[in-house]
């Protein structure tokens, strides 16, 4: 089994990583930011602020397992109306691409609505991705480590 380190990021670390992404993100003009809950909410707000994008929407997707077919079916708990996405360039933001299920399904849903999606994550775990033929359009770091962001409360932590 591969050795995985637990990495605790500070707000300064996140600020630096997003700062590295901003020049690359500026190569496109986005109409809106679509934050994937929950992890994408904080980076989406920071990115939208730095890029001067006023419209920030939220996508919440959960998955139900179909063990018989080895599939996870996406269920969109919250998602913008198609009319909000049609013809728009949409920057989809999440904190991490682990297996890629959320980002891939949200990207596909934006395409179905007639939007032009681009995805950005802070950390990309290419080794764990279930979608070897897909990847985020932008990412700051490729890693295999277990990342703990400053906005996360670690499960089982006392006094947090």
User: Each residue of 65-84: pLDDT tens digit?
Assistant: 766 655 567 778 899 999 99
| Interatomic CA distance for residues 112 and 28, integer angstroms | 21
Per-residue model confidence (pLDDT) at position 75: 78
Task: State yes or no: pLDDT of 24 exceeds 90.
Answer: yes
Contact 151, 15 (CB under 8 A): no
DSSP 10: P
Structural class in CATH, domain 6-148: alpha beta
| E strand segments, the chain | 6-8, 32-36, 56-66, 71-78, 89-97, 116-124, 138-142, 146-148
- When the pLDDT of each residue in the chain is averaged and rounded to a whole number, the result is 91
């Amino acid at each position: 089994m591969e050795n995985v380190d637990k990495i605790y990021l500070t707000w300064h670390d996140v600020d630096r990583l997003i700062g590295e992404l901003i020049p690359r993100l500026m190569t496109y003009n986005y109409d809106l930011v679509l934050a994937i809950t929950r992890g994408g909410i904080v980076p989406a707000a920071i990115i939208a602020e730095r890029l001067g994008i006023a419209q920030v929407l939220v996508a919440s997707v959960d998955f139900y397992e179909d063990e018989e077919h080895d599939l996870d079916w996406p269920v969109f708990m919250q998602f913008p109306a198609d009319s909000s996405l049609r013809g728009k360039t949409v920057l989809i933001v999440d904190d991490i691409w682990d297996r890629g299920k959320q980002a891939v399904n949200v990207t596909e849903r934006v395409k179905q609505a007639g939007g032009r999606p681009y995805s950005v994550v802070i950390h990309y775990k290419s080794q764990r991705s279930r979608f070897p033929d897909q990847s985020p359009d932008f990412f700051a770091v490729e890693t295999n480590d277990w990342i703990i962001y400053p906005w996360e409360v670690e499960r089982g932590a006392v006094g947090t």
